[in-house]
Amino acid sequence: MIVVKDLVRQFKSGDRTIKPVNGVSFELEKGSLASIVGKSGSGKSTLLSLLGALDKPTSGDVVVDGVSLAGLPDGKLTEYRRRDIGFVFQQFNLIPNLSAVDNVMLPMEFAGVRKAARLQRAKELLEQVQLDPEKHSRRTNRLSGGEQQRVAIARALANEPKLILADEPTGNLDEQTGEHIIELLSSLSRDHNTTILVVTHDRSLAQKTERCFRLQQGRLTEEVRTGSRR
């Protein structure tokens, strides 16, 4: 269970104080698939970075399975990212000179998983995201955008995280590939009971999630949905 309590992040810009995240509170049940929509510059990515412990809030707290992130030292936050969080980026952010399987193995290497075990799991995950086995050993900079995003999702799943944070995961993909990716995330949420939070400005993508939040001027409101995906 993810609990976000009155989260605030503010920056100084000259004399002005900017609050891209201003008193955001919400809860996500384990295994839910949710989305946050909003215009560019509305603070979506900032909120995501606070949830993923990439940034520290000015005030407020994020509690993951009863553990508060506020006040955790950097080392513990790194451990939290490694163990509990999986990131999927719009630009994929794979290591270009490594193969698909090596990219997926990276988080497991950082977690201290033995080589044989991480190789086997990486292959399983790549099969799960339906990457052609012939491309497992191919360098990621030689894969298509959709294939790279599949590798990125497999990498996010590597350490069986509690929460997957996807920042515009379909932003660089064509519509059809984007739909495949969101279906994939949806099935992962179902099959692995993993909580997935997708940040997007694509309303059609947001429509496919269980819960949809709107971020506007740093404040979050939940849209009432008529049906469930499940």
- Given candidates 4, 48, 62, 126, which one binds other proteins under the rule CB under 8 A? 48
Range in contact with other proteins (rule: CB under 8 A) among 26-34, 41-49, 128-136, 183-191: 41-49
Contact between 202 and other proteins per CB under 8 A: no
Residues that contact other proteins, how many (by CB under 8 A)? 32
User: Using CA atoms, how far apart are residues 186 and 195, in angstroms rounded to an integer?
Assistant: 10
Q: Are strands 16-28 and 2-13 parallel, antiparallel or unpaired?
A: antiparallel
Range in contact with other proteins (rule: CB under 8 A) among 60-68, 73-81, 129-137, 222-230: 73-81
Q: How many CB atoms lie under 10 A from the CB of residue 83?
A: 14
CA 130 to chain centre: 19
Instruction: Tally the C-alpha atoms within 13 A of residue 153's C-alpha that lie toward its C-beta.
Output: 33
Q: Scan residues 135-194 and list those touching other proteins (CB under 8 A).
A: 155, 159, 167-168
Q: How far apart are CB 118 and other proteins at their closest, in Å?
A: 10
Instruction: Tally the C-alpha atoms within 13 A of residue 81's C-alpha that lie toward its C-beta.
Output: 19
Closest CA to 184 of 164, 161, 199: 164
Which residues here bind other proteins, judged by CB under 8 A? 45, 48-49, 52, 54-55, 75, 78-79, 81-83, 87, 89-91, 93, 95, 97-98, 102, 105-107, 109-111, 115, 155, 159, 167-168
